[in-house]
């Protein structure tokens, strides 16, 4: 999840807290995208500044404490553009600051600080004739204007939790692409001047479900809802996944849902918080979906809340802040997962290869787009067969809806991460181009 932010041409930083030694972002600007690294939410000393595309979009530098000379600089002609988003990362560890492009492991700027300080915040701004549009990974609030245009986000399982602050007309779309499609599902909350809510199919009337919901929304406080789409059943609840069912409808010919869009309209603006949940343990009526699984709390898959279990979007070998190391093969391997053939499969992210490897169908598959487990400190315990500890952390699901867990195996001197499939009684790892199963393994659990 990324927060969308506009910066004006006035060199005024917008600050955000950091939870680890990295920030990833995309920016659309003609020149002079500036990022500050500070100990507090304001400019001051000590402070590092990274200027990308400065000097007429010809050069990038690292500056310390707003003083010259620059501590690092390099020629970067045309690195920014006002027409498209360009992605970058900035990392800091043990006094070394590195700056690189999205999808590239090697930095184009680096500096080693002899007296490093703790970085607690980063700030972004543009200036010198440039305004900018930013997408900053790991920050989840967003605003929607009164324009009936959806903002779409990828989903990785069967549910989304939303909090919305609006006086009326909070609309949620469920689609198979990052745009309005046909067919698609729409959930309209607090429509008709905050008096009724509906489920609509393919933007057509009559509505599949319509219920009276007077005063459902409030422009002064967040209202929380959970929306799930398991087995073609669209369920809208107040509160969390165990909350009161507001609306429910079963599509006899379900469509695939891979994106959720939100918008407000008809005179309303909205502030939203999204949490993309793994609705693996519950169906409508709270019955268990699979006998191998103990009910567990939904997993937050976007954002970087301290202590939360988060799955964060990444690509090209990028590791979001707080990425969880789960193995080693000449370098740290990170706990990841990716989509394949209708399944969401745990695997290993190997940064130097710029992919997440997953096991499926007897083969090892590499994915350039994936998610990384972040913001938590799991434990690993020995297990065998299909015996799944009650505190095992769900990591995905098969194309048939069976929950998958995260496991690892020591094989040929490499500690390799893979998937535990309870019904098969093994942990599969991706290794050497193949999918290899092991009846004894370690499984990832919460502490």
Please, which pLDDT band fits residue 61 given cuts at 50, 70 and 90?
very high
Q: What are the distances in angstroms from CA 172 to CA 135, 212, 223, 238, 372?
A: 21, 18, 14, 14, 26
**Cβ-contact 210, 198 below 8 angstroms:** yes
Select from 311, 322, 324, 319 the least CA-distant residue to 404: 311
DSSP structure string for 371-401: EEEES---EEEEEETT---TTB-EEEE-TTS
Which among 330, 340, 405, 342 is positioned nearest to 366, based on CA atoms? 340
Lowest mean pLDDT: which of 44-58, 174-188, 294-308, 349-363? 294-308
Structure tokens at 397: 């699901």
The SS3 call for residue 241 is: coil
Give the side-chain half-sphere CA count within 13 A for 164. 27
Check whether the bond before 69 is cis (ω within 30° of 0): yes
pLDDT, tens digit (0-9, with 9 covering 90-100), for 144-195: 555 557 777 766 567 888 888 889 989 999 987 778 888 899 999 998 889 9
Q: What is the pTM of this model?
A: 0.39
Residue 109 CB: number of other CB atoms within 10 A? 22
Euclidean distance between CA atoms 296 and 281, whole angstroms: 7
pLDDT over 90 (residue 70):
yes
Question: By mean pLDDT, which of 47-61, 80-94, 252-266 is the weakest?
Answer: 252-266
pLDDT band at residue 95, thresholds of 50, 70 and 90?
A: confident
Q: Which of 403, 272, 377 is nearest to 4 (CA)?
A: 272
Residue bearing tokens 């209202």: 223
Measured distance CA(400)–CA(254) in Å, rounded = 14
DSSP string for residues in 171-193: EEEEESSSS--SS-EEEEEEHHH
The two tokens of residue 123 are: 């700030």
* pLDDT, mean over the chain: 83
């Amino acid at each position: 999840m990324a927060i969308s932010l506009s910066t004006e041409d006035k060199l005024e930083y917008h600050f955000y807290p950091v939870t680890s030694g990295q920030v990833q972002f995309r920016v659309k600007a003609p020149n002079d995208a500036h990022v500050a690294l500070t100990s507090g939410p304001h400019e001051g000393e000590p402070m590092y500044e990274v200027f990308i595309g400065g000097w007429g979009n010809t050069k990038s530098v690292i500056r310390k404490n707003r003083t010259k000379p620059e501590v690092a600089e390099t020629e970067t002609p045309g690195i920014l553009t006002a027409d498209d988003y360009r992605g970058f990362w900035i990392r800091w560890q043990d006094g070394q600051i590195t700056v690189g492009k999205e999808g590239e492991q090697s930095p184009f700027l680096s500096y080693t600080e002899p007296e490093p300080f703790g970085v607690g915040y980063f700030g972004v701004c543009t200036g010198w004739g440039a305004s900018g549009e930013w997408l900053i990974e790991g920050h989840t609030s967003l605003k929607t204007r009164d324009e009936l245009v959806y903002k779409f986000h990828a989903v990785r399982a069967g549910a989304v939790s939303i909090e919305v602050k609006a006086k009326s007309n909070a609309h949620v779309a469920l689609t198979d692409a990052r745009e309005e499609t046909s067919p698609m599902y729409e959930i309209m909350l607090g429509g008709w001047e905050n008096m009724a809510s509906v489920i609509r199919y393919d933007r057509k009337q009559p509505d599949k479900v319509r219920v009276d919901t007077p005063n459902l929304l409030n422009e002064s406080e967040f209202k929380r809802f959970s929306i799930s789409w398991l087995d073609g059943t669209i369920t809208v609840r107040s509160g969390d996944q165990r909350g009161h069912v507001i609306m429910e409808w079963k599509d006899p010919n379900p469509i695939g849902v891979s994106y959720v869009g939100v918008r407000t309209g008809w005179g309303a603006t909205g502030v939203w918080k999204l949490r993309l949940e793994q609705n693996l343990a519950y169906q409508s009526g709270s019955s268990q979906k699979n006998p191998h699984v103990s009910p567990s709390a939904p997993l937050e898959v976007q954002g970087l809340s301290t202590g939360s279990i988060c799955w964060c979007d990444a690509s090209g070998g990028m590791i979001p802040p707080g990425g969880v190391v789960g193995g080693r093969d000449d370098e740290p391997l990170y706990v990841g997962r990716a989509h394949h053939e209708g399944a969401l499969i745990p695997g290993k992210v190997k940064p130097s290869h710029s992919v997440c490897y997953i096991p499926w169908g007897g083969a090892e598959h590499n994915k350039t787009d994936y998610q990384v487990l972040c913001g938590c400190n799991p434990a690993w315990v020995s297990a065998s067969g299909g015996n799944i500890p009650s505190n095992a952390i769900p990591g995905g699901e098969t194309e048939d809806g069976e929950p998958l867990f995260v496991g690892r195996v020591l094989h040929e001197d490499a500690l390799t991460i893979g998937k535990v499939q309870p019904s098969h009684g093994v942990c599969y790892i991706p290794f050497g181009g193949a999918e290899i199963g092991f009846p004894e393994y370690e499984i990832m659990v919460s502490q």
